[in-house]
Amino acid sequence: MIYKLFKKKLHFILLCTLAAACCLSGCTKHNYKAEADEQVYNIIEQKWTDDIGAKTNYKISDTEPLQNNIKIEKQLQNLNYLTLKQTITLATENSRLYQSQKELLYLKTLDLTLARYQFEKQIFGGSSRDYTKVDGNYRADNSAGYGFNQLLATGARISTRIALAWVQILAGDAHGTFGTLFSANITQPLLRASSPEIVQENLTQAERDALYQIRIFNRFRKTFVVSIVTQYYRVIQNLDAMINAQLNYKTLTDIYNRAEKLAAAARLPQFELDQANQDKLKAWDTYLQAQKLYKQSLDEFKIQLSLSPAAELTLDYNELETLKEITKNKPNFSEDEAIATAIRHRLDIANSSDAINDAQRKVLVAADALRADLNLVANVEINSKDLKSRGPEQLEDIYSVGVQLDLPLDRLPERNMYRTAQITLTQKKREYNQAVDIVTLELRQAYRDFTEAANRHQTQLDILQLAQKRFKNTMLLLQYSRANTRDVLDAQGDLFDAQNIVTQTMVDYTIATLNFYRDTGIMQMQPDGTFQAANITSTNGT
């Protein structure tokens, strides 16, 4: 009677186990995504230190954004008109390239979760029920097994399993056979692959790779924002050139009308009137070309923002007034200070430097692989009682301990890997030195561009003032017949050129400043996607 109750209880446990397994496989499937997202973003937030940048705008599009992210629907009430700040927000939220970089960061961190999983308890379990016809009777074979596998930092591999098995005769026999088995196996390396540093190398590298990708993403953010701002200002520059061309045409039209009246009164030769008309027509042609260039650059900018080229979009022309205030600042640091700051703060330089440490670890791992294998192996199997026999009889338990030795008689693949690791280390050192040289070259160029753009812009401002003064004076002289139409047309042409060049040099100076901040690594991203520049550290540490 007790035996029947016990067997019914086991059947109940088995059914509950199967039901639970079915529920788990069906009900938790939709939680896999949430679980992966939680693990990935927790890792990113832990590895993302303050010196890297603001922890914003890194979640992929199918997850809930951070609270301090600027939500596009709140900031961009009217997509037809965009300020620079709104444009940067739109770009970080909408750009296909930016989204791809966020996904690369997510996937690299997702790889780390798998590397960590290799050192966690890996639990398994399942059950089965088979029907077999024996001597005219049907026999039900039931089994279930549960256990876990785990790899330890010492290289030890542990495997445990609890197995349940019983047989029930469905016809003519109410009794059956029931048995349990507990087994465990431990393999501990004593020579090769026994050091935690060696065993955990893949995990260590995965941890480092996740950090590197965070740095790469932040370096990309700076480069991306600079490219957006550069394109924004270039479009504004083209808009200003179109406006200047339109005003130039209007001014030349006024000059022609005045010349026409003077010619009608026989106070102006016909050839001067023809010159005025010719310059007026050229101005109209210049305006048409400027209009085309502006519209084309605006459409290309829409693509960069992942907008349709047919979308109606206007940029904030008043940004040019903001630039006039920015360009009043002059460089107040030396080239050497800028280079030293870049080497300390550039994230790509940090990755290149850390790659040397990675290569050094790989040499140690490859050297360890040349050693002999010596493993300590322990096994245990504990059996339950056999309930089929009328007198319960304890089955014999099994215990074993042994040593496995594999001498390093053939290590050609390992030898090649060791030599490759040594060469790779040398290559990484050269790559770091080259990276420093390239950064130095970039900073020297950026510093020259920065200072040259500032000086050139100031020079063009002086030229513009002279051009304005000259045009005004020439117009006065024309009224008193002390200047001819050609003088006025030349003065207006020089004024028109000076207006365009001043805007160009102002934009060039701003872009050179942005490139300089980017290349020195002092550009700091803000939650809304904009940026500010930290102070450059002098070479004496002040």
Cβ(304)–Cβ(68) below 8 Å: no
Q: What is the DSSP letter of 54?
A: -
269: its two tokens: 């030769």
Whole-angstrom distance, CA of residue 278 vs CA of residue 276: 5
Cβ(218)–Cβ(191) below 8 Å: no
Cβ(157)–Cβ(193) below 8 Å: no
The reply to whether 430 falls in a domain is no
Question: What is the model's pLDDT at position 1?
Answer: 44
The reply to whether 159 falls in a domain is yes
The reply to whether 162 falls in a domain is yes
Number of domains in the chain: 1
**Three-class secondary structure of residue 529 per DSSP:** coil
Planar angle of CA 42, 46, 47, nearest 5 degrees: 120
Per-residue burial over 327-365, b if 16 or more Cβ lie within 10 Å, else e, is beeeeebebebbbbbbbebbbebbbbebbeebbebbbeb
118: its two tokens: 């290799």
The reply to whether 263 falls in a domain is no
314 forms bridges with which residues in the sheet? 81
Question: What is the model's pLDDT at position 268?
Answer: 80
177 forms bridges with which residues in the sheet? 167
Question: What is the model's pLDDT at position 526?
Answer: 73
Q: Which domain holds residue 131?
A: 120-197+373-406
Whole-angstrom distance, CA of residue 237 vs CA of residue 230: 10
**For each of the chain's 542 residues, which pLDDT tens digit applies?**
443 444 444 444 444 454 455 455 444 555 899 999 999 999 999 999 988 888 888 999 776 655 445 454 444 445 678 999 889 888 888 888 999 999 999 999 999 999 999 999 999 888 887 777 666 666 777 778 889 999 999 999 999 998 877 655 555 454 556 667 889 999 999 999 999 999 999 999 999 999 999 999 999 999 999 999 999 999 999 999 999 999 999 999 999 998 888 888 887 888 888 999 999 999 999 999 999 999 999 999 999 988 888 888 999 999 988 888 776 666 677 889 999 999 999 999 999 999 999 999 999 999 999 999 999 999 998 877 554 544 445 567 889 999 999 999 999 999 999 999 999 999 999 999 999 999 999 999 999 998 899 899 999 999 999 999 999 999 888 777 777 888 889 999 999 999 999 999 999 999 998 999 899 988 887 766 667 766 665 443 33
Find the helix or strand (DSSP H, E) in which 184 lies.
strand 176-189
Question: What is the model's pLDDT at position 469?
Answer: 95
Whole-angstrom distance, CA of residue 268 vs CA of residue 77: 56
Q: List Cβ neighbours of 7 (8 Å cut-off, separation of 6 or more).
A: 166, 168, 176, 178
169 forms bridges with which residues in the sheet? 139
Whole-angstrom distance, CA of residue 113 vs CA of residue 10: 37
The reply to whether 71 falls in a domain is no
Whole-angstrom distance, CA of residue 223 vs CA of residue 487: 47
Tokens 């130095």 correspond to: 440
Total residue count of the chain as it appears in this document:
542
Burial class (CB in 10 A: 0-12, 13-18, 19+), 34: exposed
The reply to whether 233 falls in a domain is no
**Three-class secondary structure of residue 182 per DSSP:** strand
Find the helix or strand (DSSP H, E) in which 495 lies.
helix 485-520
Kindly report the number of other CB atoms within 10 A of residue 500's CB atom: 19
- Which tens digit of pLDDT belongs to each residue from 9-64? 444 444 445 445 545 544 455 589 999 999 999 999 999 998 888 888 899 977 66
What is the pTM (predicted TM-score) of this model?
A: 0.83
**Three-class secondary structure of residue 351 per DSSP:** helix
The angle that helices 201-264 and 485-520 make with each other, rounded to 10 degrees, is 170
- Pick from 259, 261, 243, 383: nearest CA to 315: 243
Report the greatest alpha carbon distance in the chain: 140
The reply to whether 443 falls in a domain is no
**What secondary structure does DSSP assign to 238-263, as a single string?**
HHHHHHHHHHHHHHHHHHHHHHHHHH
Planar angle of CA 172, 175, 177, nearest 5 degrees: 130
**What secondary structure does DSSP assign to 410-434, as a single string?**
--HHHHHHHHHHHHHHHHHHHHHHH
- Residue spans of alpha helices (H) in 135-199: 196-199
Give the 3-state secondary structure of 79-148: CCEECHHHHHHHHHHHCHHHHHHHHHHHHHHHHHHHHHHCCCCEEEEEEEEEEEEECCEEEEEEEEEEEE
Return the sign of the alpha-carbon dihedral for residues 456, 457, 462, 463.
positive
Sheet with 137-151, edge to edge strand ranges? 122-134, 137-151, 157-169, 176-189, 373-383, 398-406
Cβ(401)–Cβ(378) below 8 Å: yes
The reply to whether 56 falls in a domain is no
Whole-angstrom distance, CA of residue 289 vs CA of residue 296: 11
Cα 30 to the center of its chain, rounded Å: 26
- Which tens digit of pLDDT belongs to each residue from 339-355? 999 999 999 999 999 99
Question: What is the model's pLDDT at position 542?
Answer: 33
Find the helix or strand (DSSP H, E) in which 377 lies.
strand 373-383
